[in-house]
Structure 1
Amino acid sequence: MVPFLASPVAGEWSEDTWLENIIGPERLENGDEFGCHGYEGASISEDIWIIDECKKYLMKGTNASRWGAPPISFGVPGQIIDQYTASQLISSGFLIVGDSLEEAPEGLILAKRNGASLEKGVADKSLIESADEDSLTSIYWRARIDDLRVREDKDFMSWLEEQDIWFTTWGEWNMHQISSENTSVTTDGSELYSVSESSDLWQVPGTSLILFDSEISGVFNSGGEPFPVISPYTKKLESGWREVEGGILLTQSPGTTITIKLNEYPESVSIQPVTTFNGLRNAVTIVGHHTTNLFHWSSDFQESPLTFTWLIERPSEEEIDWTLPIIAVATLIAVPVAVKRAIESDSSDN
Structure 2
Amino acid sequence: MGKTQRRSLSVFLGFLIVSVVAHPVALAEAAWEEDGWLRTSFAKERLDLGDEFGCYGMPGLSWSNDPGAVANACKTYIEERTNASRWGVSPLSIFTPPTLTMADHTKVASQGFVVHGDETGLEDTAWHDETDRPADLWEWYNLGRRGGSLEKGIASLEDLQTEVEAGGLVNLYWIGRVNDATVRHDRDVLAYLDEAPNVWLTTWGEAWSSWSGKRCYEYQRDVAEVEGKTVITFESKETEVCRSVFDELPWNVPSTWLIDVEGASVSEVSTHGTSLRLPSIEGEKVAKEGWRQQADGTLVLSVLNGHAVNITVNATGIEHDILAQTEFFNNHSAAVTVAGHETTDLFKWAKRFVDDTDVRFTWLVQPRPAEAADAWIPYAVVGVSVLTVFIMLGVLGREGLGPWSSLANRKGSKKAFSDEENKRSLDADEEAE
How large is the RMSD of aligned CA atoms in angstroms?
2.5
CA distance in structure 1 between the aligned counterparts of 2:301 and 2:152, rounded to whole angstroms:
38
**Residue of structure 2 in register with 1:157 after alignment:** 190
1:286-307 CA-partner distances (Å, limit 9, x unpaired): 1100111112211221222221
The higher radius of gyration belongs to: 2
1:92-134 CA-partner distances (Å, limit 9, x unpaired): 1111111112445864324211121111111112233222555
CA distance in structure 2 between the aligned counterparts of 1:187 and 1:22, rounded to whole angstroms:
42
Task: Pick the structure with more strand per residue.
Answer: 1
CA gap 1:235/1:107 in 2 versus in 1, 3 angstroms: closer
Does structure 1 residue 316 correspond to structure 2 residue 316?
no
CA distance in structure 2 between the aligned counterparts of 1:292 and 1:41, rounded to whole angstroms:
15
2:324 maps to a residue whose letter is Q
**Residue of structure 2 in register with 1:207 after alignment:** 256
CA distance in structure 2 between the aligned counterparts of 1:23 and 1:246, rounded to whole angstroms:
41
- Once the two structures are TM-superposed, the CA of residue 217 in structure 1 deviates from its matched residue by 5.2
- Please report the TM-score for the alignment, with normalisation by the length of structure 1: 0.82
- Could you tell me whether the CA contact under 8 Å between 1:55 and 1:71 is conserved in 2? yes
Does structure 1 residue 64 correspond to structure 2 residue 84?
yes
SS for the counterpart of 2:205 is: helix
1:165-222 CA-partner distances (Å, limit 9, x unpaired): 2211111122123335625353435443332232544121111111132633542323
SS for the counterpart of 1:61 is: coil
CA gap 1:228/1:147 in 2 versus in 1, 3 angstroms: same
SS for the counterpart of 1:7 is: helix
Gap runs ≥5 in structure 2? 1-21, 126-135, 225-229, 376-433
CA distance in structure 1 between the aligned counterparts of 2:287 and 2:201, rounded to whole angstroms:
8
**Residue of structure 1 in register with 2:45 after alignment:** 26
1:126-160 CA-partner distances (Å, limit 9, x unpaired): 23322255512111111222344322122332333
- Please report the TM-score for the alignment, with normalisation by the length of structure 2: 0.67
| Structure 1 segments (4+ residues) deviating >6 Å | none
Does structure 1 residue 271 correspond to structure 2 residue 323?
yes
CA gap 1:159/1:107 in 2 versus in 1, 3 angstroms: closer
Q: 1:295 aligns with which of 347, 355, 367?
A: 347
- Once the two structures are TM-superposed, the CA of residue 89 in structure 1 deviates from its matched residue by 1.8
Q: 2:175 aligns with which of 142, 155, 158?
A: 142
- Once the two structures are TM-superposed, the CA of residue 36 in structure 1 deviates from its matched residue by 0.7
SS for the counterpart of 1:241 is: strand
- Once the two structures are TM-superposed, the CA of residue 22 in structure 1 deviates from its matched residue by 3.5
Aligned identity (percent) is: 31
SS for the counterpart of 1:113 is: coil
1:250-283 CA-partner distances (Å, limit 9, x unpaired): 0001222223243322335132111222233312
1:304-335 CA-partner distances (Å, limit 9, x unpaired): 2221000111221121299xxxxxxxxxxxxx
Does structure 1 residue 186 correspond to structure 2 residue 221?
yes
Does structure 1 residue 248 correspond to structure 2 residue 282?
no
Does structure 1 residue 7 correspond to structure 2 residue 25?
yes
